[in-house]
């Protein structure tokens, strides 16, 4: 089998940079084309010295002679490039939010634009491999999930699917600064984030609708009411999510809960169910999502903690995992690496 010819549109963001690193070392991929308008004409190593061993020129436009394109464009921009890729029979994996929501009416509220291709919203498959493996395998357009969404959905999916919880769900997430991207903002300044932590988008974060969309699809009979509050903490990468929900059965044992989670993810190579609360560094640089489900016996409340690297499992690694499924490769191809610790 010949290697998959891949292209990356907009290599200059953090997820684009990680896509280069992962695809360069992927045994079944030829990284044929990378673009970045602000850096067009420069060698990759000139812009990112840590990638100087990759002899690749950053171009203004992606090569049409590829099998799959990863669009790492900002929100509202992928809609301008993805339809053209599809008409050229190039499979597309969109890392932005432009195809994640099924309801086009949600885009003005959460992303500030009217979606021009509602038909593609219906075609696009939400790219969470642990939930949509079969659909991803036959898709030509993948909507890669938001970083917060991956940790929250994976933490709650077994409980929602099996209806062991009441509908009132609280999701508390803490993210490193790389989740805000490379574009400079006041909140991203060192003096603002160092020795500091704060909640933001308290009235509604843009990842909330996709979290609700995917959880409700797992169990339409459960009328979920989700509260989601993200926080920025002074670290470079990683997301720690803690989810809370009342349990329906006061007799459910912790070992039964954990077995339910292990059964649900028994074929998911990148989800690890653990016996103790995980730490963010357990997943740094990997495509893992580590999950710890437990019970607060005093309140009969489910508590689920998940950890992941927001740039890998929450971004580039998930995108590569989706590509593997689309081309009939093992999900773990090119993604088998251990965490960087400490």
Active site residues: 147
Torsion over CA: 217, 229, 79, 136 (sign): negative
Give me the torsion for CA of 317, 323, 326, 332, rounded to 10°: -50
Q: What does the radius of gyration of the chain's CA atoms come to, in whole angstroms?
A: 20
Put the strands of the sheet holding 271-273 in their side by side order.
Answer: 198-199, 225-232, 168-175, 239-246, 301-308, 289-296, 271-273
Structure tokens at 153: 């959905």
- Distance, in Å, from the CA atom of 244 to the CA atom of 296, rounded to the nearest integer, reads 10
Tokens linked to 260: 């339910």
Those residues with Cβ within 8 angstroms of residue 258's Cβ, 6 or more apart along the chain or in another chain: 273, 275, 293, 294
Closest listed residue to residue 195, CA positions, set 234, 236, 240: 234
183 vs 179: CA distance, rounded Å: 11
For the chain, the straight-line distance linking the first and the last C-alpha, in angstroms and rounded, comes to 39
CB 218 within 8 A of CB 160: yes
Distance CA 317, CA 155 (A): 18
Residue labelled with tokens 């191809």: 333
CB 31 within 8 A of CB 20: yes
């Amino acid at each position: 089998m010949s290697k998959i010819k891949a292209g990356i549109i907009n290599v200059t963001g953090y997820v684009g940079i990680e896509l280069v690193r992962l695809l360069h070392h992927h045994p079944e991929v030829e990284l044929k084309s990378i673009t970045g308008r602000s850096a067009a004409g420069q060698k990759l190593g000139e812009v990112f010295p840590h990638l100087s061993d990759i002899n690749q020129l950053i171009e203004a436009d992606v090569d049409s002679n590829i099998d799959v394109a990863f669009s790492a464009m900002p929100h509202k921009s992928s809609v301008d490039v993805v339809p053209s890729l599809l008409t050229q029979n190039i499979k597309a994996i969109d890392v932005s939010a432009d195809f994640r929501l099924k309801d086009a009416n949600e885009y003005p509220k959460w992303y500030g634009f009217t979606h021009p291709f509602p038909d593609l919203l219906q075609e696009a498959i939400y790219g969470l491999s642990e939930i949509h493996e079969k659909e991803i395998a036959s898709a030509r357009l993948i909507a890669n999930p938001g970083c917060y969404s991956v940790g929250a959905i994976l933490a709650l999916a077994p409980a929602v699917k099996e209806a062991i919880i009441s509908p009132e769900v609280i999701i508390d997430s803490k993210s490193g600064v790389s989740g805000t991207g490379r574009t400079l903002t006041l909140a991203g300044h060192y003096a603002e984030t160092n020795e500091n932590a704060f909640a933001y988008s308290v009235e509604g974060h843009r990842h909330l609708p996709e979290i609700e969309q995917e959880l409700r699809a797992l169990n339409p009979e459960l009328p979920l009411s989700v509260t989601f509050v993200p926080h920025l903490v002074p670290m470079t990468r990683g997301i720690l999510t803690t989810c809370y929900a009342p349990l329906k059965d006061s007799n459910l044992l912790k070992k039964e809960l954990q077995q339910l989670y292990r059964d649900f993810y028994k074929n998911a190579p990148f989800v690890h169910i653990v016996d103790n609360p995980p730490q963010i560094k357990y997943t740094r640089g990997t495509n893992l999502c580590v999950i710890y489900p437990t019970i607060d016996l005093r309140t009969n409340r489910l508590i689920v903690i998940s950890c992941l690297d927001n740039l890998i499992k929450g971004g580039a690694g998930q995108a590569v995992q989706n590509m593997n499924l689309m081309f009939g490769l093992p999900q773990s191809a090119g993604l088998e690496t251990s965490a960087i610790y400490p």
